[in-house]
Amino acid sequence: MSEFDIIIAGAGPAGSMAAISASKAGRKVCLLERKAEVGVPVRCGEGIGRRGLLDHIDPKPEWISNTIKKAVMVSPSGIRIELRGTSEDFILDREKMDSDLVKEAINSGVSYFAETPVTSVKKNGELYECITPKKTFSSRILILADGVESRLARFLGWDTTLALSDVETCAFARVVSPLIEKNACIFFTGTRVAPGGYAWVFPRAVGEANVGLGISGNNSEPGKAKQYLERFIESEFPGARISNLHCGGVPVARYIRPLVKDGAMLVGDAARQVNSLSGAGLAYSLYAGKLAGKTAADAINGNTVNYKHLKTYEKNWHKKFGKQQLRSYSLKKFVEKYGDDSFLDRIAQSLSKEDPSKLNYLKVFTRTFSGHPLLLIKAIKLFR
């Protein structure tokens, strides 16, 4: 048995950030990853807002494949709204970013084990034990970052099972076509394209984009995400070259409460720390990972490994992003209920009369929720 101060299960961005910050605070940290290589295949659209990235990490230039200043929203009937008043969005290279974060963890002293799936977890006295096919790892504090599956938390009494309405089933691919413009992120809505979700085109370079879509689990059928994606690409970019076709699930649920139980903490997709309306989770994950890792290390440094200390992770997350995340969930619920195709077309119709240079995401959302004062406040606060 190998003993550590802190074990982190899952080496995605949340797990790696937790490992880096705990190790830099002086603790003996172990990072366990199921796969041979992190970041492969990329299960992400790779788009992130400027602040979402820069507020939480100092990115290497090679992590950013494109910087985009314009967004286009396409309504179900095809009305195109240009948003030129948005701040920059980055299109990332997650394969590079994820693997660099693991390298940084290793360089900062973390013991990293690839191809080491944790099959179960249990508490034995003061210690958590992570059982893997190779051996058992133990630690005083355990950080679970096992992604959308969030299976390990269930061994410790959390119910992380997602309702069908709280998961988006996604398919995405790398698409090469002369019809792709380099300077705009495009979002398509409508039942025909992506029932209960949306399709996205995030350009990486001239003529090359990440194209994907998500369908609400409620509306899903076996293989539907893939079929819809292939149909969407054929209709938008006929004759395109398609590669790296992969799928994924995005949790669009309320973040899990509590985030802390005894000496165990949840971070990232495993904690459902994802904006329910957009499906974006990277910024939340980077922040939560860093915070959880630091809180865990401080608890051991100060000999205060207890719920009361670890709970500060949850409190600080709630203040910074948790409240916003819960708002995004109630807005998602509203859209689910009322946001049918004709509703979205009506909003697009009214936005089409506005000056594109003054339009941004906030404006779109405030228009969407304008008839509903409580939701409107939530929508505005989402952008703070």
Partner 1 sequence: MVKVDNEKCDQCGTCVSVCPTSALMFIQEPVIDQKTCIGCGKCIKVCPFSALSSLK
| β-pair type (29-32, 2-9) | parallel
Among residues 37, 149, 262, 345, which is the contact residue for partner 1, using CB under 8 A?
Answer: 149
Position 281 contacts partner 1 (CB under 8 A): no
Position 222 contacts partner 1 (CB under 8 A): yes
Position 147 contacts partner 1 (CB under 8 A): yes
Degrees to nearest 5, angle at CA 250 with 321 and 97: 75
Instruction: Please give the helix or strand (H or E) that residue 171 lies within, else none.
Output: strand 167-176
Position 231 contacts partner 1 (CB under 8 A): no
Nearest to partner 1 of 39, 249 (CB atom):
249
Please give the Cα distance from 346 to 327 (Å, whole number): 23
Residue type, 317: W
Using CA atoms in the order 256, 336, 89, 171, what is the torsion angle rounded to 10 degrees? Answer: 80
Position 226 contacts partner 1 (CB under 8 A): yes
Nearest to partner 1 of 41, 356 (CB atom):
41
Position 32 contacts partner 1 (CB under 8 A): no
Position 148 contacts partner 1 (CB under 8 A): yes
Residue 94 exposure: Cα atoms within 13 Å on the Cβ side = 20
Using only the alpha carbons of the chain, give its radius of gyration. 21
Q: Which stretch binds partner 1 (CB under 8 A): 63-71, 104-112, 240-248, 326-334?
A: 240-248
Please give the Cα distance from 169 to 219 (Å, whole number): 9
Q: Which stretch binds partner 1 (CB under 8 A): 70-78, 153-161, 180-188, 315-323?
A: 153-161
Cα–Cα nearest to 368, from 384, 357, 340: 340
Least separation, in Å, of the C-beta of 151 and partner 1?
6
Position 196 contacts partner 1 (CB under 8 A): no
Among residues 26, 78, 157, 223, which is the contact residue for partner 1, using CB under 8 A?
Answer: 223
Residue 68, both tokens: 């985009």
Binding site for partner 1 (CB under 8 A): 34, 41, 43, 117, 119, 133, 147-151, 154, 160-164, 167, 169-171, 217, 220-226, 246-249, 251
